[in-house]
Chain A
Amino acid sequence: MDRRQLLFGLSSAALSQLEAGTHHTAKADACIFLAMLGGVSQIDTFDPKPKLTELNGKIMDWTKEKKTDQPNLFAKPRKFVASPFLFQKYGKCGREVSELLPETAHWVDELAICRSVQSDNGNHPAAVFQMNTGFIIPGNPSVGAWVTYGLGTANKNLPSFVAMPDYRSIPFSGAQQWGSGYLPAEFQGTVLRAGSEPIRDLVSPRDVSTELLEAEREALRGMNGVFGALRADNPELRARMDSYELAYRMQMEVPRVLSIDAEPAAVKEAYGLNDPVTASFGRRCLMARKLVEAGVRFVEIFTPSQSWDAHGDIKKNHEKNARETDKPIAALLADLKQRGMLERTLVVNMGEFGRTPDTPAEQETPGRDHNTRCQSMWFAGGGMKGGSMIGTTDEIGHKAVENIYHMHDVHATILHQMGLNDLRLTYYFGGRNRRLTDLGGRVIKELVS
């Protein structure tokens, strides 16, 4: 019996506990996906291009390129832009990292970097969809939904897939970026917010005592039980009662797990919670660690929509965004490592695409535009080979030329590390077995330990 038949027959909640399982031995139990919305410049982070210093200000010849990501921007003359950031070697692996990421740089021996990831569409909304769902159009399940569908839940009190957008600016198309698409609703990401009601409807708006709520719960359990006794082997009814129990436990458990008040001052300081610049991303990184510790399978944290989108001023934009995220990310890696969790937790850091080596010639402050031909992304922990790197771009950092990988391959790698085979993880919809990676991805083997 495949998963699909089970979905017809059994309640799906029962299914996710019964049937879910790995295809092969998993290297990671959980994944924290750090979505750098807007697209980070590879040239200014992990992929130094000294040639650009030489070409800086010179006009770029685009006549040989058939296709560009932003036709309106490429219709006019463009000039090369050297990175305004200095690079330096770090770690035992001697990886070059720019001064933008001084904290993350200290963790290069834990990072597995791919500098040649390509994608299909240079528009933010379509590209963000592809990063999260594999496809450039809406309607498809997100990576976290696929993982939850494949593996089921690993905890009894919390949702299995948590999304934490930045409320200054939500990702394009909002909830669809962590939605379940055509998968059943139970696999959709649950949004957690900082504050008194982290999950929607978690708290009763009625001004009643907890004793009364507890008594109601008892009464409901009793009533469903009386009815259930008459229909003893009805799996749907059993599953319904279980889901109410889980809901009640969530009401108790979620505020406890998410409370960071009790964390030591040093931890709060490390994540940057005392600094308004880093506090938002830092708080969510710390929550991610606590959620994974409590058995949540997949946590996705988003920077504000288009935050890294440095068309106008690469220096100013990237400095601002790096300041908000670099320290919290390093703290997350350190915290996971120190708690022995990094080994079994896959951390992924990427944006929807990379950026161009050039800027419109008429522009005074140089920026960088969208580039689907290469981006530098990294994995850490979860069975990835620390200190490794793959992928080469051309001398100006315009496109990947060696060991080219695609967004589907990143997804295949995430699934692979979590014990799932992207070709076998399918769901029947619209007349065919659908996949996260469509026709299949390639695991980025060079980065897997």
Chain B
Amino acid sequence: MAKDDVTKYKIDCYTLPAESNWANQTRADALSWLNQNGLPNGREEYWKYTNPLSFNSSKPPLKNEIDPSYKKPIFDNIDCVKLVFVDGVLDLENSDDLTLTGLEIEPLAKANKNEDHWSLGYFGNIEGSSQKVVKKTLASLNTAFAVQGLTIKITDKVSKPISVVYYHTDQISEALIHHVIKIEKNAHATLLESGGISSRSNCVMELSLEENASLDHIRVQGRSHERESITYIFSNLEVNSCLKSFTLTVNGRLTRNEYIVNINGENAKAHVGGAIVGDNGFSHDDTVFITHSAPNCESRQVFKKVLRNGAKGVFQGKILVKEGAQKTDGYQISQGLMLDEDSNFLAKPELEIYADDVICSHGSTCGEIDPTALFYLTSRGIPKPEAQDMLVLAFLNEAIDEITSNEIKEIISKRLLDWMLKRHKS
């Protein structure tokens, strides 16, 4: 099938919202960008290691086994404001009461109808402008057609985390979700995301952090084995703002997480991290693009992947330091730990630097569990499987350490331990 046909068939699967409102123009622009550039194909530089075929497919997704554990979301024990999506559709009845100081949450479709809504200048905007450097037409597809999603405005320090829970109940569900989040000056929030979403999902999150604003974002991508998921986080960071985003991914057939971080204000910080464990033909891809446009900023990328049974881990990270962004501190590490012979780790850690007074470094390694470390532990009486688990957890810890909250850190570690115990059984 020709490239244009793929795009055409995919577009034909969706319909633009019928009623007219302010978002129509944004959607039309996104659609024309998509038509102009087409959906990604394997020949493109940023799709070298991951085949976009299933994201582009106009056929229904593969039938999924539903993971019964979805009924018990990972962050259930945390006191938070909970929002529920079922197969990609917002379920307000099962969601919590949304009134909380410093917090304004509305469904995207409702916000679109309000001509004076704050999200007017944000929806599709951060995404659209970020595409000029590297095109991301699957995100354009999302902007054009997604009606599900939330607009979240944080005006103050929010006392409870906001938890978005995605239930995956239908075996062949498909979802397009688009969140627009704005953290106003001096405000702070913690955003949790968890669950499998749907069999195939395409999620975009547009983040705007104003002066002194900060956001902790922790995401746990579900366990269902057949899931195909592509996510984008587009973010703009102003002076002194701080974004911390951490993602735990356990299995899934194909996952691609893209992070586009534009650091526009001085002294801003962006930390992006991920711990990934995969099994059985699992394929996971983290693609990060951090642009430093202002001086004195810091960015960190920490990605750790544990792979076994023919799993594939991909990391593509880029730090772009523009002219004048002096005193930038950019750090990037990507590591793959392969537990058996069949797995692949593919990495492209990239630096593009146009300022001289900067410190940018990146490291990338891959290999198996260090036999000397294993020997040390076994010689002290620890059985080999346990020793291995210890070393795997220790390996992942550097990424988990990117999370600020200890409570959440523990939950994440526990989930990883579960994965390892399950591994011993299988």
Q: Note whether A and B form a binding pair.
A: no
